[in-house]
Structure 1
């Protein structure tokens, strides 16, 4: 039997370009080049022997034939994608690919993963590169730990894990010197110090001072850093003091590499680390096992347990 239908890749290119009104946006959505989209649509037009869309100053416009193809192909393509994703999920039910904020992964998650592997040796866990603007448009990851507020990801499954509990850290020698000078009896004394900050957490100092009831009129930030690891290193080099999620610096505190001037002050921010997954991954059995383990593990963390109590 002679087949009259074109290839799936050509149909995907055409439908995506028609839906977005742009070859460039279609290429980004399909993770291919703009040239690949253009060539696919050219092949499709050659297959049908007539133009399907035209470019103009306002984007793309469909011909009458193009409109018929677009209207008729959308739903079947969507159904095939849903079926394919389900079949792949069944095939990958014991494989799980994650991505994670690098600092959280190295400081908190990785030391705890041996426990997960011991409990679930049948699950093959791997990590994909972290993307701050993850949208799950690719085949991987299945889930990602992202930093932000829960309402930041409408439509996704977003479970708070850890990271709302903040602590001020400084060099141990700076703490000893300030205490010997009779300073830092209250958080107000910190306002005279160089306040270091993370580029994505500029508001953390303001929230910390508010949480501990200290005035913020003289709050003035010093140096900013785009990586938490660099910020912690700056504190170790005694460049100033910083406020960070306690889970990221607990090992440094225990080892004495940094010190906490006010360890007993409870300060929490609205942001935190969440395990995020798109709706199509909710029935992924390996992800369900990892999610249960991760939330149980985080729930046993001293800071999270204290906040819930």
Structure 2
């Protein structure tokens, strides 16, 4: 009846957001939940809910629900949905620019406060393999040149799991346009890189020399990494790309950690594929030897990851300059 008060509070349906009896309608001046804004920013950047979910460790349906919740709160659609995919609406484009800038500013200020205002602190993120085999050996040179900079190393195997607020710069092997690091720029440290087969001298003393590629498959132990992020570094792909005859190896040792395989290689347990530039120190010192003469140009290169849109601190600028100039020589 017009003008009459209902005895039962109404349920208001706003897309997926349902205000039940007793719920309080948010103020028009209230900010949307931060989780919804972060999800929207990732979804808008990728124009894909699934890719946004991978970045944020959410399911595709969870991303969709959070976007719908935000659209309901704003009272207008942010995406156009069609069989061709997602596209931002004009309102979504404008909102994305505002949200991206706001989240960047919050991230920058949070990182600054975590450093307690000390621009000479530097957190480097890296995979355990790169950190232990390469970075730890070269950092003393940087520290001698910059004794006032305090270094912290954060090891994370998969760059997709990096929290952009927890580190300054990263070092990872990167395949351009295939394993894009979310929210980061990638600059190659090594302009050229080859994948080679290596083992320790102790392994050859115990098992005998590797006569050729066929002998390696028939009579030696191949160390195999089972890791989705390193799927592009496989024995079969290496053999086939070099035009070598491939068959399943007689002996294999598998692990889901490339760092573990490298330790196994150094301990004399088998032959593995590795990056020639990354392992150059071990090869020069004689702790590893190249067992076959073949070298395959690597699809991935050791790269420096820098968070997009973040202002570089003096420590970040110093490390970037030292790394890219020194290693490019």
Which TM-score bucket, shorter chain as reference? 0.5 to 0.7
Would the alpha carbon gap of residues 109 and 206 (structure 1) be closer, same or farther in structure 2, given more than 3 Å must change?
same
Task: Give CA-to-partner distance per residue, 1:236-271, whole Å, 9 cap, x none.
Answer: 554432222234544544554443323x54333212
Would the alpha carbon gap of residues 195 and 11 (structure 1) be closer, same or farther in structure 2, given more than 3 Å must change?
closer
Would you say 1:107 and 2:137 are equivalent positions?
no
Residue matched to 1:198: 225
- Aligned partners of 1:80, 1:195: CA distance in 2, in Å? 50
- Aligned partners of 1:130, 1:292: CA distance in 2, in Å? 23
8 Å CA contact retained: 1:198, 1:226: yes
SS at 1:196's partner residue? strand
Would you say 1:158 and 2:182 are equivalent positions?
no
Residue matched to 1:67: 74
8 Å CA contact retained: 2:108, 2:311: no
Task: Give CA-to-partner distance per residue, 1:30-62, whole Å, 9 cap, x none.
Answer: 99xxxxxxxxxxxxxxxxxxxxxxxxxx84655
- Aligned partners of 1:173, 1:104: CA distance in 2, in Å? 23
Would you say 1:187 and 2:213 are equivalent positions?
yes
- Aligned partners of 1:112, 1:298: CA distance in 2, in Å? 10
Q: 2:165 aligns with which of 134, 139, 162?
A: 139
Residue matched to 1:268: 297
Would you say 1:231 and 2:250 are equivalent positions?
no
- Aligned partners of 1:15, 1:174: CA distance in 2, in Å? 54
Residue matched to 2:13: none
Task: Give CA-to-partner distance per residue, 1:196-237, whole Å, 9 cap, x none.
Answer: 122234643234334554322455661211233432343355
State the TM-score, normalizing by the size of structure 1: 0.64
Residue matched to 2:145: 119
Would the alpha carbon gap of residues 135 and 287 (structure 1) be closer, same or farther in structure 2, given more than 3 Å must change?
farther
Residue matched to 1:44: none
SS at 1:280's partner residue? coil
Residue matched to 1:42: none
Task: Give CA-to-partner distance per residue, 1:154-184, whole Å, 9 cap, x none.
Answer: 77311122494333223425535776xxx64
Would the alpha carbon gap of residues 281 and 131 (structure 1) be closer, same or farther in structure 2, given more than 3 Å must change?
farther
Q: How many residues are aligned here?
A: 262
Segments of 5+ residues of structure 2 without an aligned counterpart are 1-26, 44-48, 59-63, 79-90
Deviation larger for 139-148 or 233-242: 233-242
SS at 1:281's partner residue? coil
8 Å CA contact retained: 2:164, 2:307: no
Segments of 5+ residues of structure 1 without an aligned counterpart are 32-57, 301-309
More helix by share: 1
8 Å CA contact retained: 1:211, 1:268: no
Would you say 1:277 and 2:303 are equivalent positions?
no
Would the alpha carbon gap of residues 7 and 239 (structure 1) be closer, same or farther in structure 2, given more than 3 Å must change?
same
SS at 1:291's partner residue? helix
Q: CA deviation at 1:5?
A: 8.7
- Aligned partners of 2:245, 2:210: CA distance in 1, in Å? 14
Q: 1:169 aligns with which of 185, 190, 198?
A: 198
Would you say 1:242 and 2:269 are equivalent positions?
no
State the TM-score, normalizing by the size of structure 2: 0.61
